[in-house]
Structure 1
Amino acid sequence: MQFLILGILLDAPLTLYDVHKRFRAGISLFYAASFGSIQRALRQLESQGWARVDEAAANGRGRKLYRVTAEGRRSWHTWMTSPLTGSDPEPLMLARIHLLGHLPPAERALCVEVIRTRIAEDQSRLAALAEELDATDVPEAVRELYRFRRATLDYGLRSHGLALSWLDDLDLSA
């Protein structure tokens, strides 16, 4: 979540409440975050030196504005171009595509290719599993169980195929 927040802060310095609003306004469709988890992440970003806090007054009230430091920008850039890790790459894929406009146009294709590689590898593993399962003689007693379990594997194959097609259709031109 820290890198997603860094990417959000690249838009403009924001308060904790503003960051939370950005999540609620659309990011939460692919990346869930509570107010408390955002607050903790902002504190971590500050302690790592990736963000700094500026005090600003608005309507007679003090506000803490978080902004990305040069070190934070470098860390975010490294994250954007590094391989996707973890067992569920979809939220990270969507987060990176959501933030893709902050990369220089010449580097966007690299980011998308890194994502595409992971999705294609996962799809290949699913296809191999499907091939293996389809070659297995399923006993009559468990065929009904198998049918629905195989349907979930089919969903995984289709969703990965859709993700790859969607990535191919992205317009990366400046």
Structure 2
Amino acid sequence: MAHVILGLLLLAPQSLYGLIKSFEAGVALFYSASSGSIKRALDTLLDKNLIEVASTEPGGRGKKVYRTTEAGRQEFHRWMTGELSGADLETAALARLFFLGLLDPADRPPVLRRIQERAAADLAQLTALKKHLDTMEVPAEFRDVAAYQRATLDYGIASGRHALTWFGNLADRGGPQTG
């Protein structure tokens, strides 16, 4: 979540309330977060000097507006251009895709290729699992359960194929077509 917040703050300095609204307005399509988790991530980013308080509004509540520091910009770039981590490819890939326009054009295709490579690796694992399961005999009392578990695996394979193709096509085109 910290990297998503860094990306949002690179787009524009924001308050906690603004970040919550930014999550609701777009980021929540691929990354869910509570206001408490956003606040905790902000505190961590402040402690690591990756963000700073840009201003504090006068008045009773003293709303703070945050912005990234140079160290925060560097950390964001390292995350964007680094290896995808975590078990959930979709969240990792879409978080980077959402902010890909913040990178220099030359840095974008390698990010898309890394996503494509991860999709290929995940798909290979699922395909190997399917091959293994095809060799197993399922006891009669578990066939209904196994059928739906297999349907779940089939969905994962179809989703992996789609991700592999979609990110490959996007990389081949050099990004989305604008205009």
Q: TM-score scaled by structure 2?
A: 0.89
C-alpha change, 1:143 and 1:21, in structure 2 (3 Å) is same
Q: Is the 8 A contact 1:55 1:62 kept in 2?
A: no
Q: How far is 1:61 from its partner?
A: 7.3
CA contact (8 A) 1:2 1:42 kept: yes
Once residues 86 and 60 of structure 1 are traced to their aligned partners in structure 2, the CA distance between those partners, rounded to angstroms, is: 41
> Where in structure 1 do 4 or more consecutive aligned residues deviate above 6 Å?
58-61
Match of 1:136, SS?
coil
1:130 is displaced (CA, Å) by 0.6
Given the alignment of the two structures, is residue 172 of structure 1 paired with residue 174 of structure 2, yes or no?
yes
Offset, 1:172: 3.0
Shift of 1:63: 3.2
Residues 36-115 of structure 1 aligned to structure 2 (within 5 Å): 36-57=36-57, 62-115=62-115
Identity %: 44
1:151 aligned residue: 151
Structure 1: runs of 5 or more not aligned: none
- Displacement of 1:59 after TM fit? 9.4
Pair 1:8-2:11 in alignment = no
Report the 3-state secondary structure (helix = DSSP H, G, I; strand = E; otherwise coil) of the residue aligned with 1:10.
helix
Task: Give the gaps of 5 or more residues in structure 2.
Answer: none
Which TM-score applies when normalising by structure 1?
Answer: 0.91
Alignment correspondent of 2:17: 17
Secondary structure of the equivalent of 1:28?
helix
Q: Aligned residues, how many?
A: 174
What SS is found at the alignment partner of 1:9?
Answer: helix
How far off is 1:8 after superposition?
A: 0.6
